[in-house]
A and B are shown apart, each in its own frame.
Chain A
Amino acid sequence: MALVERQVRNGAEESGKRATKLVLVVTKDTLDQVYPPLILATTAAASGLEVDVYFTFWGLKLLDRRSHRKTKLASVGNPALPMPNILGMLPGMTAVTTSMMQRKIKKYWPTIPEMMLQAKEMGVRFHACSPTMGLMGIRKEDLIPQTDDIVGASTFLDWATSPGTATIFV
C-alpha cells in the first residue's frame, strides 16, 4: 500500500512533465502479444492521451483484412502453457491452445477485432508499416478500413522522439 502512496506523490510532483502522447509498436500477431498493447491503447485513450499504434512485421497481420480475425496463441515455444512442451508440436495444437485461451479471455475482454474497433472509436490511430507490406506482399486494398495510413521508420521515429511522447515496443 505504501507503493500506491509513493506513486501518488510522484505523480503529483511530476505532473508538469507527464507525456501526453503514447506510441505503441506491435510486432507480433499472437493473443499474448496483442492484448497487452490493445489494453494499453484503449486505457491510454480513456486517460486523455493521444495514441498511435504502429503495426509492423507479424503485427501487420492485424491490419490485413484476410488475417485480421485469425490471431492465435502459439503452442510451440511457449513453456508457460499448462501442458508438456513437446505436445506443442502435434498437428492441431495451435488451434487447441488458441481456443482454450479464447474461451478464458471471452469472460473478461472483447475479441481482438472488437477491441480494435473500440480503440478506433476512442480516437486511437492505426498505422501500417510500409516495408512490411512490401516484404509480405500486403497491398493497400488488403488493409482494413480502420487503417489511418502507411508509414515507414522515419515517420515512426519522428513521433517517438517528439516531446511529451512515451513509446512502448511489444
Chain B
Amino acid sequence: MNEGPARVAEGEVTVGTVGLLVVDAIGQLCPVPVLRVSQGIKQLKVGDEMEVWATDPGSKSDIAAWTRMTGNELVTVSEEDIHQEHRVGLEADVERKSDSSVHAYKFRIRKMR
C-alpha cells in the first residue's frame, strides 16, 4: 500500500507536503469527483500535477473522459486499498462494510492548458 493522500477535510482541495495538489473525492458519487477535479485544476499552472482519490466505480472512466474533453493529461491511474485514517468523507454505505480498508482509485492528472 502506498502512503495514501494527505489528509484533507471533506470537500476541500489542499496542497500536500511536497507541493502536490491533492483532491479527495472518497465516498463521493458522480458528478462530485469530476467537479472537484475541475475546481482543483484551476489552482494549478500548466505542467503542474494533481493527485485525485475517488471510490465511485464510475470515476475511473469519468476522470479519463474529463481529461480527454478538457485536453489535460491523465498521467497514471492506480487502484489502492486505503485504510481508516485516509477514509475522509466516507459515507454510511461504505462504512457498513466490515472490512477495515476500502478500494480506491488514485489518479495523477497534469494540467496541459
Could you tell me which A residues sit within 8 Å of B by CB distance?
Answer: 4, 7-8, 11-12, 15, 18, 39, 42-43, 46-49, 107-109, 118
Contact partners of B68 in chain A: CB under 8 A: 8, 11-12, 15
Bound Cα distance A7, B92 (Å): 32
Separation of A107 and B71 alpha carbons in the complex (Å): 31
Shortest Cβ distance from residue B34 to the other chain A in the assembled complex, whole angstroms: 6
- How many residues of chain B have a CB within 8 Å of chain A? 21
Say what secondary structure dominates the interface of chain A.
Answer: helix
Q: Check A18–B69 contact: CB distance below 8 A.
A: yes
B64 at the interface (CB under 8 A from A): yes
Which of A15, A46, A48, A109 has the most CB atoms of chain B within a 10 A radius of its CB? A46
- State how many angstroms separate the Cβ of B111 from the closest Cβ of chain A: 13
Contact A4 B64 (CB under 8 A): yes
With CB as the reference atom, state the residue of chain B lying closest to A1.
Answer: B60
B46 at the interface (CB under 8 A from A): no
Pairwise interchain contact B29-A46, C-beta atoms closer than 8 A: no
User: Which residues of B line the A interface, CB within 8 A?
Assistant: 28-32, 34-35, 37-39, 60-61, 64-66, 68-71, 91-92
Structural contact, A39 and B30, CB atoms closer than 8 A: yes
Contact flag A7-B35 (CB < 8 Å), given A47-B70, A108-B28: no
- What are 7 A-to-B residue pairs whose CB atoms are below 8 Å? A4-B61, A39-B30, A39-B31, A43-B30, A46-B66, A49-B69, A107-B91
Closest 3 interchain pairs by CB? A46-B38, A47-B69, A43-B31
**Cross-chain contact B92 with A107 (CB below 8 angstroms):** yes
Given contacts A18-B69, A108-B28, contact A46 B34 (CB under 8 A): yes
- Minimum CB–CB distance for B63 against chain A, Å: 11
- Which residue of chain B has its CB nearest to the CB of A8? B64
